[in-house]
Homo-oligomer: A and B are copies of this chain.
Amino acid sequence: MSVEGLSINFATVRQGGTFGGIVDACLRHGVTAISPWREHVGQVGIAEAARIVRANGMRVTGHCRGGFFPAPDEAGRRAAIDDNRRAVDEAAMLGAACLVMVVGGLPAGSRDLPGARAMVADGMAELLPHARAAGVPLAIEPLHPAYAADRACINTLKQSLDLCDKLGDGVGVAVDVYHVWWDPELEAQIARAGRDGRILAHHICDWLVPTTDPLHDRGMMGDGVIDLKAFRASIEAAGFGGPQEVEIFSHKWGARPVDEVIRTCVERYRTVC
């Protein structure tokens, strides 16, 4: 039985092995949409990854990830752009709905957050023509403010949409409940994102209380405090009809058998999302 509307991000099932192994695991549970990471693509090569996607009729809700634009020097920033172009090309070959952009934080040794944000805007602007030509929308993912220093200096939906406004066509947002659930302006900004046609992806998981690890303690849907049904209602009211993509970075879930993890995702998707 196919599970319509659910996508599994490979970060949720890193223990599932290779690109093909994870696809097989998803299919065993009726999941036909995925979001791979570049490391999984790198292991088998992009041609083989794309073949697996096509052969199994998988829907690719996003390719993870581009971004990490800020760097201490011009050479580093150029290298980041070049690498992002390759990520765009991979996303195109996979037929991904978007390339997810984790934009990067402060360059090493820097305390200049506005400067880092300017590097992100510049990097996005430079990458965008290539992405447009390849037909790959760039999905800026605002990351939780806890990651502002080391992963992404774009930290709210409003900030992401303001950047989209500056950049124009071919760019939107990936809305991950974990990163934005706390935002007092969440509803207004989701509505705005919908009006502007900017919602490219929707990631789900849960916020645990307490959270014991800043990076790897995301919760399975239903185990935390995010009102997932209300969130889904907002995002669907804003016009987003794509799959909900489960992305759980968790030492706990990473230690469990891949079939148990995907079975739990399916069950929770049906009951609490």
Contacts and interface: CB of A to CB of B under 8 A. Distances in A.
B184 A149 contact: no
A183 B145 contact: yes
A207 B153 CA distance: 14
Quick one: copies of this chain in the complex?
2
Contacts of A113: 181-182, 227
Contacts of A183: 145, 155
Give the interface size bracket for A toward B: 20 to 34
Contacts of A111: 225-227
- Nearest first, the 6 closest Cβ-Cβ pairs linking A and B are A148-B182, A111-B227, A145-B182, A159-B184, A146-B146, A149-B225
A117 B184 contact: yes
Nearest to A187: B114
Interface string A102-137: 000010001111000100000000000000000000
A144 interface: yes
Which of A111, A148, A158, A207 has the most chain B CB atoms closer than 10 A to its own CB? A111
What DSSP secondary structure best describes chain A's contact surface?
Answer: loop
B155 A182 contact: yes
Contacts of A106: 209, 225
Contact of A227 (B112, B210, B227): B112
Contacts of A224: 149
Contacts of A225: 106, 110-111, 149
Contacts of A144: 145-146
Given A145-B145, A226-B111, A150 B184 contact: no
A43 interface: no
